[in-house]
Chains A and B, each alone.
Chain A
């Protein structure tokens, strides 16, 4: 499956990574929902670390859309929250 890290590009991950990703993603989502800043930063870092560790970059001219999209590493909790609700973060 293809995962995009915003601001960095796409990586291809084996489907076997999905379970671990879901677990880490659930922790991130819970932190964002509760607006728990202390839990948010390490949760995002852990998710990104897993994506990077399990993934390898796709070819630059690969036009396939991503199955999953991860916020950028330095995104604030507020930004992630806006991304989820599409309060105009994506231009166009």
Chain B
């Protein structure tokens, strides 16, 4: 008979069973409409849940990316300081973070697509529910009980198919969200316990400690030099603005506005 026909029959059987239970079909239209509205609510909540889960994964992705970047910097600094052993260690840890990162990225994409599908399902269902409401009123107002039966059956079967489809989509999204919550919770726990955090940026960042001890890379002196160089490069206008003698006419306004917070800070002793 074919897969398509058989699946259709399963959907129809479901609708027919519900129709058989109805004593007065016209009253049941109202009842069915209520159920439809409830399902719509459920789909909207589902969309919100998936979005929340997606945002949480997004935060974790950012954190992991920062960790990975930091380890990369540390590896470079270590190499520059002639410490290949430290660089190797940093890169090994980076590879570990990177694996987590890639896994999360895959799940992020799948949540995104689930969210999109559910949003579309929600708007499809909304259209059908609106159409059903109109049809329901027409049937109640216009047709005799005998005539109404056929029309009710058709509308009911159509909407019930949509509801079955959407119901499965929600179920699926819920399952995915649950899985994601569990995984995100595990990563949060790892970070909280220090296993991930310590490794990279926690108080016991041993690679950084070693680099600092050697005065290399991110050591205080190096950092100071780097900041001085950055300031000199990025803020010539601010310097101009705070030195009225060298300021030329154009851009003086922007210069003095930008310089204002600097001046305020310079006034503070610390």
List residues of A whose CB falls within 8 A of some B CB: 3-4, 6-7, 9, 21-22, 25-26, 28-29, 32, 47, 60-71, 80, 83-84, 86, 89-92
What is the bound-complex CA distance between A80 and B6, given in angstroms? 11
From 91 to 124 in chain B, residues with beta carbon under 8 angstroms from any chain A beta carbon are 117, 120-121, 123-124
Chain B contact-residue range equals: 35 or more
Total number of residue pairs linking A and B with CB closer than 8 Å: 99
What is the bound-complex CA distance between A83 and B172, given in angstroms? 14
In the complex, which residue of chain B has the Cβ closest to the Cβ of A89?
A: B168
Say if the beta carbon of B52 comes within 8 Å of chain A.
no
Q: A residues within 8 A CB of B132?
A: 63
The 10 closest A-B pairs by CB, nearest first: A60-B127, A61-B131, A68-B4, A91-B167, A63-B158, A25-B2, A69-B7, A65-B157, A90-B164, A86-B10
Do A91 and B159 touch across chains, with their CB atoms under 8 A apart? no
List residues of B whose CB falls within 8 A of some A CB: 1-8, 10-15, 117, 120-121, 123-124, 127-128, 130-132, 135, 154-155, 157-159, 161, 163-165, 167-171
Main secondary structure of the interface of B (DSSP, over half): helix
In the assembled complex, 6 residue pairs joining A and B whose CB atoms fall closer than 8 Å, in A order, are A65-B12, A65-B157, A65-B158, A69-B7, A83-B7, A91-B167
Q: B residues within 8 A CB of A6?
A: 7, 165, 168
Q: A residues within 8 A CB of B5?
A: 25, 68
Do B7 and A71 touch across chains, with their CB atoms under 8 A apart? yes
